Amino acid sequence: MMRYLMCLLLLLGGCSSRQGVEAFIAPNVPLSLPAPTLAEPLTRQQLLLASAQGKQYQLLTALEAGPQGITLVGLMPTGARLFKVRYDRSGIHSERLLPLPGSALPPPAQVLADVMLCYWPVADWQPRLPAGWQLKDEGDVRRLTNPAGELVTEIRYHTWQGQREPVSLTQHRFGYALTLESLAP
């Protein structure tokens, strides 16, 4: 009985993790994430269409961000919960309840970093970028470029009810794209 209990504990431990506050903006290029807080609360429910390696996947996401931190929950279109990522002052905590569909999709913490790249102010990101990297807003487009001036990430926005909302993110170095459709403000 004790052996089964130990196996169960090991399995449960593999489903939950606490990570540092880093993500990758390109292969072998780590980036420290900005503080997980926003002065103004942000709540979004979105349908994400992820395209990677010639395949497409759909995820429903629920995002809550504010002074205490950020929480991102990913669901299958059927409503089954895939993952939950929480980023607060003590770090990133993630739970994977079901495997993400397709091995080509980024891990939940990377999806969180992409969401933050969409919503957090450029000024919060600027001091965290490696030397020579630039993040710029130009109209309805936000671009992240490497020191050679090559486009790494491009985010497109549209303005809806006076708010700038991301509608797509293309990550050129990791080879995936996200199309974001807001389901509720």
pLDDT of residue 156: 98
pLDDT of residue 4: 26
Q: What is the Cα–Cα distance from 113 to 31, expressed in whole angstroms?
A: 9
pLDDT of residue 18: 41
The domain ranges of the chain are: 18-184
pLDDT of residue 98: 66
Q: What is the pTM of this model?
A: 0.82
pLDDT digits (tens, 9 = 90+) for 110-163: 878 898 999 999 999 999 999 999 999 999 999 999 999 999 999 999 998 888
Question: Which top CATH class is 18-184?
Answer: mainly beta
**Which residues 6+ apart lie within 8 Å of 153 measured at CB?**
25, 114, 117, 143, 144, 169, 170, 171, 172, 173
Q: What is the Cα–Cα distance from 69 to 35, expressed in whole angstroms?
A: 8
Give pLDDT < 70 ranges for the chain: 1-20, 98-106, 108, 184-185
